[in-house]
Amino acid sequence: MRGHVLQAAGYFAVLTALLWSSAQLLGDRLPPEAGLFGRPQMAALYWAVSTFFWLLISNSDPGALNVAARGSNPEPSRADDDPAKPRTMHVYAYDRVMHRPTSCDICKIQKPARAKHCHVCNRCVARFDHHCGWINTCVGLRNMRFFLLFLIWHILIMLHGFILGLVVLRRQVVDEIMHRMEEMAISTEAFEFFNRGKLWPTTGVPLFMEMRVAYHTEFRVFTLVSVLFLMACTVLGLLIYHMYLVLVNQTTYERLRYGMHRKRNENVYDRGFKHNIQEILF
């Protein structure tokens, strides 16, 4: 395994902690209306699927350039099985702004346009986007679609845990309101009638008061829901950013570097949304 093994192990630590906490705090407190997706056993299934996606992308080829490119300009190999040619899949033109004909002093090869040497993985990667320590590999020409799928999957499971946590908090708020109504000798029959069989009962209480009750009565669940929400928003932002880069046919590395070339930042690789998606994801 290349790269930062400890950071990759941190991914499994965070994943396990969140799924275990969700199963322990939410599993036995969800109503029957939550169905199959409310069972604690789903945490084990999510862990297994997440591990599968992690293994899929961490062992995928990001577009590593081999030594066959030494001293030559690499040719595309999507439909070329000639072992004497490097497997770069695409040949990009040098834009003469960021990408010029250069050689890698470490790999001893002539780098095609948009390729970069990753000092963590110690290899040149075609259409290099970035090195991700969480998956312990680079994201490049060949595995961008796996990386996006990896992000989408984690957004879905975090939103699922977030919604289930909200259901538990909501029901706790309802129970607390009913308890206070009973203390004040207020009839709860009408309240119970309108919320009977509802997965998301109504309270008629302002949202900020509901959040305050949830914080004081279910601090651990409230914390879990908050963490899941913040993490889901973070990963969603990362997904939106990379989807934008796919649409304009640009990489993270190029996006950061183009800030140094503001007067000459025309992207010569942008061929329109449709062609960009086909080129990068299919």
Catalytic residues: 132
β partners of residue 118: 123
- Fill in the amino acid letter for 14: V
From the centroid of its chain, how far is CA 218?
Answer: 28
Q: Rg of the chain over CA atoms, in angstroms?
A: 25
> How does strand 109-111 pair with strand 102-104?
antiparallel
* CB 111, CB 104: distance < 8 Å: yes
Distance of CA 14 to CAs 19, 20, 22, 32, 73, Å? 9, 10, 12, 28, 43
Strands 123-125 and 116-118: antiparallel
The three-class DSSP label of residue 126 is coil
Distance CA 68, CA 109 (A): 8
- Comparing CA positions, the residue from 74, 30, 13 lying closest to residue 200 is 30
| Residue 154 one-letter amino acid | H
